[in-house]
Amino acid sequence: MDDQQLWDLGFTRLEALNSCFPQETKSALAELLARYCQTKEALAAVIAEIDASSICRQCGGQCCLNGKYRINVFDTLGFITREILPSVNFTQKPLCPYGSHDGCSMEPCLRPADCILFICDALDEKTSPDSRAILAAGEQGLRNCTLQASRLTGEPLGTPLLLWAEKQRFINQKK
């Protein structure tokens, strides 16, 4: 099974799983997802203020190469609950399948948490103590949301979607 097939399997399985959750779980999950997405958006804004656009433009997005495992199951649920189908292209290696030469195709609120939280050395040098404290608190907030949502659903939502899909395939084969 190639990456595209794994992506399709993971996305479809997650859609099916999400549709089967009891209403109470769906509501609690929606609250956690809303907080998760708002936190990602807020953290992206902090990074943008540090002048990420010029640093990232000069660098050309080296941190975005080979990013296929960046999106986790909880990130993907953000797309599913908003009924958005992300555009993916697994043939453009080493470019990330979720981006293009123009940058990431995902809005900051839906971008993988791992990408939002990654601070390269050039950005780190320009980060003030205040921004650092905001980023650390936001990181903890994202981790808490993922942990709570994982407990709620009984699924390891922090797992990269492609690895989760691989496990789903294995479970399928055993049936």
Determine if 40 is a binding residue for ligand SF4 (CB under 6 A): no
> What is the Cα–Cα distance from 60 to 126, expressed in whole angstroms?
18
Which of 172, 155, 174 has its CA nearest to residue 5? 172
Indicate the residue whose CB is closest to ligand SF4: 99
> What is the Cα–Cα distance from 169 to 117, expressed in whole angstroms?
30
Q: Which residues contact 42 (CB under 8 A, 6 or more apart)?
A: 138
Identify which of residues 7 and 98 has a Cβ nearer to ligand SF4 in the complex. Answer: 98
> What is the Cα–Cα distance from 79 to 18, expressed in whole angstroms?
12
Determine if 10 is a binding residue for ligand SF4 (CB under 6 A): no
Determine if 56 is a binding residue for ligand SF4 (CB under 6 A): no
Q: Which two tokens stand for residue 154?
A: 């009984």
What is the Cβ-side half-sphere exposure of residue 129, based on CA atoms within 13 angstroms?
0
Which string of x and - marks every residue 72-111 that binds ligand SF4 (by CB under 6 A)?
A: ------------------------x-xx----x-x----x
Q: Which residues contact 18 (CB under 8 A, 6 or more apart)?
A: 26, 77, 80, 81
- Nearest distance from residue 14's CB to ligand SF4, in Å? 17
- Nearest distance from residue 2's CB to ligand SF4, in Å? 18
Q: Which two tokens stand for residue 115?
A: 């990408």
Q: Which two tokens stand for residue 68?
A: 């296929």
Determine if 115 is a binding residue for ligand SF4 (CB under 6 A): yes
How many residues make contact with ligand SF4 (CB under 6 A)?
11
Residues 131-170 that bind ligand SF4 (CB under 6 A): none
Determine if 37 is a binding residue for ligand SF4 (CB under 6 A): no
Identify which of residues 28 and 59 has a Cβ nearer to ligand SF4 in the complex. Answer: 59
Look at residue 101 and give its three-state secondary structure: coil
**Interacting residues with ligand SF4 (CB under 6 A):** 64, 67, 70, 96, 98-99, 104, 106, 111-112, 115
